[in-house]
Amino acid sequence: MENISVLGAGSWGTALAMVLAENGHRTTIWSHRQDQVDEINEQHTNAKYLPNTVLPQSLTATSSIEDAVNDHDIIVIAVPTKAIREVCQQFVATQTTEKLFVHVSKGIEPDSLKRISELLQEEIPAALRSDIVVLSGPSHAEEVVKQQPTTVTVACENMVAAERVQDAFMNGYFRVYTLEDVIGAEIGGALKNVIALAAGAVDGLGYGDNAKAALITRGLAEITRLGVKMGANPLTFSGLTGMGDLIVTCTSVHSRNWRAGNLLGQGYKLPEILAQMGMVVEGVRTAKAAHQLAQTYDVAMPISSALYNVLFEEQPPKDAVDALMARMKKREIDEMM
């Protein structure tokens, strides 16, 4: 059995901590809010993020990031992308021994255009980390906590580390695959949120299944184009961290990105949408990064660009769809690479 802590007590951190505790590992969850720590320890609930869910009695919470890191061997980082650096800076200051890190966040940092494993490499000195493993795939917390069949992938160049994480998480309802392609896993996981916002918007506009299928397929084409230029294996994008996650996020009412996009399509403004979501909508920030990545790598990303224009240039969603449909005619497959 492993000794594991999860940093971040939102919906995904809590759901993953439940899987680990149910698998029999000594599992601790860290929250920066003492009221939430008390709720988890005393009532075994996390009502804000996972209503109607009872947490395992064996899952304990702490507000001490020092204890959460130093008392455990595997550290799962489950905070939104924008909080990654700040959280790392808090624990690195007190960390004494090398740990295996797993990250489960899906985003790209705007401006630096760094993937999350790159942020972790920058923030955690090499002497304090053995490996960094990415856990990604089609997996809404709301279904995982109901123990509904779910598949994810853990990516790391070091297969020994990937298999250790696979063994820690895997059980009868949570099936874990391994992968060596860290870049592909991170690009697929981050960029699918941008396409999911667009998919929500076309639903909010009242368009149908044809439009949705077009967005998913052409969205995957532009994610693949970018990922391959960044060094990913193209086959990764037809796997769980690519197509799999794109399907679930573009079609599920659980998706915060889809829901935010849906409200955009209905005419709501971004600030009011984010205020009412109350949970992270990673695709908004990643849309900025995608816009910059498309320029940096000279890759056509028309759907991501259209979404960027809607989010940050006040283009009405319907005009953005009309502009996508009116693009110059293309060959389908030549455009993939």
Ligand X SMILES: NC(=O)C1=CN([C@@H]2O[C@H](COP(=O)(O)OP(=O)(O)OC[C@H]3O[C@@H](n4cnc5c(N)ncnc54)[C@H](OP(=O)(O)O)[C@@H]3O)[C@@H](O)[C@H]2O)C=CC1
- Round to whole Å and give the CA distance between 118 and 214: 32
Closer residue to ligand X (CB): 198 or 324: 198
Q: Would you say 305 is a known binding-site residue? A: no
Q: Give least dist CB 168 to ligand 13P, A.
A: 19
CA of 57: how far to CAs of 13, 16, 21, 147, in Å? 16, 15, 9, 17
Q: Would you say 192 is a known binding-site residue? A: yes
Task: By CB under 6 A, tell whether 262 contacts ligand 13P.
Answer: no
Residue 130, CB half-sphere, CA atoms under 13 Å: how many? 15
Q: Quick one: DSSP state of residue 329?
A: P
Q: Would you say 258 is a known binding-site residue? A: no
Which residues, including other chains, have CB under 8 Å from residue 118's CB and lie 6 or more apart? none
Q: Give least dist CB 327 to ligand X, A.
A: 29
Closer residue to ligand 13P (CB): 181 or 245: 245
Q: Which of 5, 36, 257, 262 binds ligand 13P (CB under 6 A)?
A: 257
Q: Which of 249, 251, 286, 305 binds ligand 13P (CB under 6 A)?
A: 249
Task: Give all strands of the β-sheet with 26-30 in edge-to-edge order.
Answer: 60-62, 26-30, 3-7, 74-77, 99-103, 129-136, 150-155, 174-179
Task: By CB under 6 A, tell whether 32 contacts ligand X.
Answer: yes
- Round to whole Å and give the CA distance between 28 and 67: 9
What the block records as the tokens of 80 is 């939104």
229 annotated active-site: no
SS3 48: coil
- CB neighbours (10 Å) of residue 22? 17
Residues 276-295: x/- map of binding to ligand 13P (CB under 6 A)?
A: ------x-------------
Given the rule CB under 6 A, which of 58-66, 252-260, 294-302, 318-326 is the region that contacts ligand 13P? 252-260
Closer residue to ligand X (CB): 236 or 255: 255
Q: Which of 48, 82, 114, 192 is catalytic?
A: 192
Task: By CB under 6 A, tell whether 256 contacts ligand 13P.
Answer: yes
Closer residue to ligand X (CB): 13 or 188: 13
Closer residue to ligand X (CB): 33 or 269: 33
Q: Give least dist CB 310 to ligand X, A.
A: 20
Residues 123-142: x/- map of binding to ligand X (CB under 6 A)?
A: ----------------xxx-
- CB neighbours (10 Å) of residue 269? 11
Which residues, including other chains, have CB under 8 Å from residue 213's CB and lie 6 or more apart? none
Q: Give least dist CB 190 to ligand 13P, A.
A: 10
The interface partner of residue 241, options being ligand 13P, ligand X, none and the CB cut-off 5 to 8 Å by kind, is none
What's the 3-state SS for 214-236?
HHHHHHHHHHHHHHHHHCCCHHH
Q: Give least dist CB 130 to ligand X, A.
A: 22
Rg (CA), the chain: 19
**Residue linked to tokens 């030549």:** 334
Task: By CB under 6 A, tell whether 87 contacts ligand X.
Answer: yes
The interface partner of residue 107, options being ligand 13P, ligand X, none and the CB cut-off 5 to 8 Å by kind, is ligand X
CB 3 within 8 A of CB 72: yes
* Sites of contact with ligand X (CB under 6 A): 8-13, 31-33, 49, 78-81, 83, 86-87, 104-107, 139-141, 279-280, 282
- The residues annotated as belonging to the active site are 192
